[in-house]
């Protein structure tokens, strides 16, 4: 049976992949988007997005995803549910391994995003979904009237700590440093909220409980002093690790596994582009992810013209 050769296969249906699909579909390229879960990506986990232009009162992550998805559906972008497990160069074509099948493409846009980092403590995996969470929007209602802790000092940690105060009676914000990286507007809201207590220069060094999380041990990194906090929920926002395991040995990655790209978002392999949180860059946000998606699709089109004389 002869396999179809796609002009472009897009891996990942977050803001970057969906935007790349939008541009590729409008250019009438023969495309396929592969997504392992439902389209949306990390933004579907967010309560309110307040820093995406065009929505002066903010927009919920879910609503933003639905709007992008509606736009993509109007263009009849084919979406296949499946996990990409490998990517190889096969002479001029690329071979994309999806679950136990494979696809052929002239070019690929990798937009597989990133996943939250973990603390690296013993028993951490056992507590995920049993007290440890990476999504306040999903899990905050379980902690109504209880005490919870958030780890991190960036925008996401600040935003999610604020959201948790709608449910929890007390939110500890645990941060390694003695100042936050979060935007000033979020810091102002944090410091005004009397349900939030910031534990500066501190780190979680043990997880307590059997089966379900019942508390944490927190160490002050300056004094070495430890204290136990009885919290039922621990929300981790300490950075991201790229979803790039399937690219090892195919394209150049940096030491943390982020994909290295040039200005037009091409990787070390001609015809393979990367967009969004999966690539090495300064700022990982929806606005930069959609910009990357557009650039990668445009650059792919130029590549197809050059390499396959497609116009
Ligand atoms: C809690 C939280 C709050 C945030 N708040 C904001 C905010 O207020 N404003 C803002 O601008 N940004 C915010 N962000 C960041 C923003 O969500 C990301 O920067 C953005 O979603 C990145 O888009 P992406 O398409 O690059 O990757 P992702 O959103 O990570 O999407 C990648 C997609 O690829 C899929 N995928 C991964 N691997 C494979 C594979 N092997 N095969 C097939 N599919 C795969 C994943 O399932 C996922 O759907 C927040 C993030 C989080 C987690």
Q: Whose CA is nearest to atom 35 of ligand 1?
A: 12
**Same domain, yes or no: 19 and 110:** yes
**What does the alpha-carbon distance between residue 145 and residue 160 come to, in Å, rounded to a whole number?**
16
Banded pLDDT at 4 (limits 50, 70, 90): confident
pLDDT band of 311, cuts 50, 70, 90: low
Q: Which residue has the tokens 């990982």?
A: 284
Ligand 1 lined by 47 (C-beta under 6 Å): no
Residues 19 and 40: their CA atoms lie apart, in Å, by 11
CA distance 24 to 6: 12
Distance, CA 16 to ligand 1 centroid (Å)?
8
Euclidean distance between CA atoms 68 and 186, whole angstroms: 26
- 156: domain CATH number is 3.50.50.60
At which of 216, 236, 256 does a domain end?
236
pLDDT of residue 1: 62
Q: In angstroms, what CA-CA distances link 302 with 4, 7, 107, 270, 279?
A: 21, 12, 11, 12, 20
Is 221 a residue whose pLDDT tops 70? yes
Whether 109 and 244 share a structural domain: yes
Residue 39 token pair? 């389209």
Q: Ligand 1: distance of its center to the CA of 69 in Å?
A: 14
CA of 220 to the centre of ligand 1 (A): 32
Pair (107, 145) in one structural domain? no
* Percent of the chain residues past pLDDT 70, beyond the cut: 99
Average pLDDT, the chain: 95
Tens of pLDDT, residues 290-307: 999 999 999 999 999 999
Work out the pLDDT band at 215, boundaries 50, 70, 90.
Answer: very high
How confident is residue 11, by pLDDT bands cut at 50, 70 and 90? very high
Name which residue sits closest to atom 53 of ligand 1, judged by CA: 42
Contact indicator for 7, 310 with CB cutoff of 8 Å: yes
* Confidence grade of residue 90 (pLDDT, cut at 50, 70, 90): confident
Domain that holds residue 187: 118-236
Q: Which atom of ligand 1 is nearest to the CA of 287?
A: 11
Mutate to test the pocket of ligand 1, among 9, 12, 156, 281 (most ligand atoms within 8 A of CB): 12
Question: How many other CB atoms sit within 10 Å of the CB of residue 202?
Answer: 24
- Backbone angles phi and psi of 163, in degrees to 5: -60, -40
- What total of structural domains would you count in the chain? 2
Stretch 151-171: mean pLDDT = 96
Digit-coded pLDDT (tens) for 16-70: 999 999 999 999 999 999 999 999 999 988 888 989 999 999 999 999 999 999 9
**Distance from the CA of 57 to the center of ligand 1, in angstroms?**
22
Convert the pLDDT of each residue in 186-212 to its tens digit.
Answer: 999 999 999 999 999 999 999 999 999
Q: Are residues 100 and 129 in the same domain?
A: no
Same domain for 295 and 225, yes or no, is no
- Ligand 1: does its nearest atom lie under 6 Å from the Cβ of 170? no
Q: Are residues 231 and 122 in the same domain?
A: yes
Considering the domain architecture, whether residues 18 and 108 belong to the same structural domain is answered as yes
Residue nearest to atom 39 of ligand 1 (CA): 112
- Cα–Cα dist 258/247, whole Å: 10
Is the Cβ–Cβ distance between 29 and 8 less than 8 Å? yes
CA–centroid distance, residue 249 to ligand 1 (Å): 24
152 lines ligand 1 (CB under 6 A): no
| 277 close to ligand 1 (CB < 6 Angstrom) | yes
Q: Is 45 in the pocket of ligand 1 (CB under 6 A)?
A: yes
Q: What is the pLDDT of residue 279?
A: 98
Instruction: Decide: 114 in ligand 1 pocket, CB within 6 A.
Output: yes
Q: Are residue 111 and residue 11 in the same domain, yes or no?
A: yes
Answer for the pair 114, 283: CB distance below 8 angstroms, yes or no.
no
Query: Which of residues 236, 260, 288 is at a domain's end?
Result: 236
> Ligand 1 centre and the CA of 92: distance in Å?
30
Domain boundary among 201, 236, 271: 236
Structure tokens at 51: 């820093």
Instruction: Report how far residue 124's alpha carbon sits from residue 141's, in angstroms, rounded to the nearest whole number.
Output: 22
Active site residues: 135, 138-139
Interior angle at CA 282, CA 246 and CA 280, nearest 5:
20
Work out whether the CA dihedral 121, 123, 128, 133 comes out positive or negative: negative
* Residue 267 vs residue 1, higher pLDDT: 267
Q: 36 CB under 6 A from ligand 1?
A: yes
**Do 218 and 191 have their domain in common?**
yes
Residue 262 burial class via C-beta count within 10 angstroms: exposed 0-12, middle 13-18, buried 19 and up: exposed
Are 23 and 295 a contacting pair, CB within 8 Å?
no
Give residue for tokens 């232009």: 53
Tell me if 105 CB under 6 Å of ligand 1.
no
Quick one: which of 151, 155, 137 has its CA closest to 52? 155
- 223 pLDDT exceeds 90? yes
Clarify whether residues 147 and 185 are in a common domain: yes
Cα(154)–Cα(90) distance, integer angstroms: 42
User: Is 161 in the same domain as 259?
Assistant: no
Q: Which residues, other chains included, contact 53 with Cβ-Cβ below 8 Å and sequence gap of 6+? A: 287
Instruction: Say yes or no: 143 and 56 in one domain.
Output: no
Six-digit token string for 88: 């190889």
């Amino acid at each position: 049976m002869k396999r179809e050769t796609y002009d472009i296969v897009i891996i990942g249906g977050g803001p970057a992949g969906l935007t790349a699909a939008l541009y590729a579909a409008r250019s009438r390229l023969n495309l396929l988007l592969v997504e392992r879960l439902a389209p949306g990506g990390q933004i579907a986990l967010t309560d309110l997005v307040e820093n995406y232009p065009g929505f002066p009162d903010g927009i919920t992550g879910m609503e933003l995803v639905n709007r992008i998805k509606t736009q993509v559906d109007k263009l009849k972008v084919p979406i296949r549910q499946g996990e990409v497990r490998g990517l190889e160069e096969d002479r001029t074509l690329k071979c994309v391994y999806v679950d136990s099948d494979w696809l052929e493409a002239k070019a690929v846009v990798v937009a597989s995003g990133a996943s939250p980092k973990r603390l690296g403590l013993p028993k951490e995996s056992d507590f995920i979904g049993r007290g440890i969470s990476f999504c306040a929007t999903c899990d905050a209602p379980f902690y109504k009237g209880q005490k919870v802790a958030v780890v991190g000092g960036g925008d996401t940690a600040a935003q999610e700590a604020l959201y948790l105060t709608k449910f929890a009676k007390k939110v500890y914000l645990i941060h390694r440093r003695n100042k936050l990286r979060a935007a000033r507007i979020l810091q102002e809201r944090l410091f005004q909220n009397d349900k939030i207590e910031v534990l500066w220069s501190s780190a979680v060094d043990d997880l307590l409980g059997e089966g379900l999380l019942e508390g944490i041990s927190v160490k002050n990194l300056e004094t070495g002093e430890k204290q136990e906090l009885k919290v039922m929920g621990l929300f981790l926002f300490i950075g991201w690790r790229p979803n790039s395991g399937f690219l090892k040995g195919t394209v150049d990655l940096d030491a943390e596994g982020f994909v290295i790209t040039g200005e037009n978002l091409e990787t070390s392999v001609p015809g393979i582009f990367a967009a969004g949180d999966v690539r090495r860059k300064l700022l990982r946000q929806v606005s930069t992810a959609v910009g990357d998606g557009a650039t990668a699709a445009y650059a792919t089109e130029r590549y197809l013209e050059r390499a396959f004389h497609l116009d």
